Structure 1
């Protein structure tokens, strides 16, 4: 640093009390650097003449350390040591001013924290949070900024990062979480969602909101959060009222995902497809139970009742924030490739791709499963029926990928 101005000379020149700047360092004879505060005051005679100076030095090492600690705590989380919400909020404003894109954000949520607190005590819950933070920080790039966003939520700001970079980061964090569980009493599970700001004029808060919505969908799929109760309650009602079963939903999920992967869907699209496979018939909770379980042929009135379920399911999903992304898919999952489906008679690629995938898988599983009104047919017969209806009821491209999936099992 620079040599400080002599406070004695300054005082003698002005006749007033003088002090050093508050960043002044005194170097003692051993070479130690000691932060000091000092002042030089004049000694005046009765006639006002200055005939001496009183110089006072004070070691402010402890004061400086306390100030640093206060400043540190004002921007850091006391439990985990990472940045706190206040710092992250200020950083978000800076990012929006800089207009640098792409800029990815990852929102993370530690699953099962309340359970850990309730069963093992809050100290165990704190250690779980600290483990999560350690893994997240070790997984991140040097330029990434990690902060605690809420009780069990974390935010990662990733400058100059696109969707692929964010997805790779999520994979790395998940892998590191799994490896950390080998000797742990409490298993660590972190749900993660991401979004990318690609438009300079877009607010980073909007990007964070997108990441948060995806995070909640991940928590629903992973079955680790309280929000999973929403799905479980509705599915319990559905399974009780209709011929649908949990095993049926799991088979649909399995085949839909395998087809989606062959069609190179993104992880986010696969997540939505997975939810759709499980929840597409959720609207049947609002359909007359006698109609759902009817063994004989359905009357025109029965069909009108049955055809209400896509709209009912759509309304349920629209009013459940975590399911909003699949609401339209639920509405259209009974449309047909040739336009003869319902409720809108959409045709071809007007029908969302997830609905076209589900249509093939659902029809196949229905044919190979015993129903109250008919016996199951063989897998070979069902497969041939699917191929016969390619280009009419079903999307030919989806049928082609489904064929690859089925043949891979032979």
Structure 2
């Protein structure tokens, strides 16, 4: 039996197109409770007329759900979904104060279409006269790193920039949507695979042109094409997804190398603000102290890497705070105390620095357990952290900084000695003082 026009399934007081099961599934994905569907709200042929009159009077009531205790409230909208050919049920959700097309049909962050509408548009355009139809699926690289070190607000701006690049790279008739958290999808009607590849190339070029503060925008892109009426559009979608993941796999190391290079360049810019930080003599002390304490070659290599990158998290700290000459406020001190944690997240992300991530996190721990962020003590602190903290503390004291005057080497050594057993490992301090003594002669 065909449905009557009256039973289109969407509340007529909301002037929207009925997306039926797709929209219902979308709500389920957003943790709306399907138990709120009430059997007494079923609409059949017998009570259809009364139901229609109730709608026209704009008096649809909202019932309390006995299972979850949801109370009737303002700013709620009722949707109707077909259960079968004869019956459809209502599903009530809390909405924003002013319900509009954008709430349901567009991604609120990027302004692109959402997945529900994209799938509806795909069905609409999946016709023979639109062939060939190509699909481009893209996955944004490095979003987790961005969120981890800069925060989700920065990550949101990152995604907005991606959306702008996609708009600039496509035609007006192309359908662009946010498919998931860091995934985007483009439907290109009347587009062969060769033309879709040109669009992919244009997206990549526009990504390279887009200037970012630290982390470059890169997107792994895959293509799928429906050429014949007998082909299934979902197969083209699957092809695009597989191609995207294939590209992401083979480009993974290249992408990570590019991200790491970008972070290092930013880090070096910060280090230039401090005279001779990370100088050759500093690395020499690290190497000599590692050998004196009988570290193997792998541990010495990790020690030198830690010496160079232990505070890479500084790249996320405002420069005015790093250079501030006045006493720091409590809030500013807490901000600086986040450096080991941010350094840990950055170093953990890359395979070539993963081994020193825990040592960077432990860099500000004290031998007596009064350090941060975990309050580790004595041997629980990684050895390379204990070594590097002594050498870098000495270097920090004898080198000029924008916010302090340097100490004489003897004064710095006295301070290192005084902190033995408190901030520093006594054995490490003892070995370091011997190295300095031998050097002076």
TM-score bracket, shorter-length normalisation: 0.3 to 0.5
Which of these two proteins has the greater Rg computed from alpha carbons?
1
TM-score normalised according to structure 1 size: 0.43
Give TM-score scaled by structure 2 length: 0.40
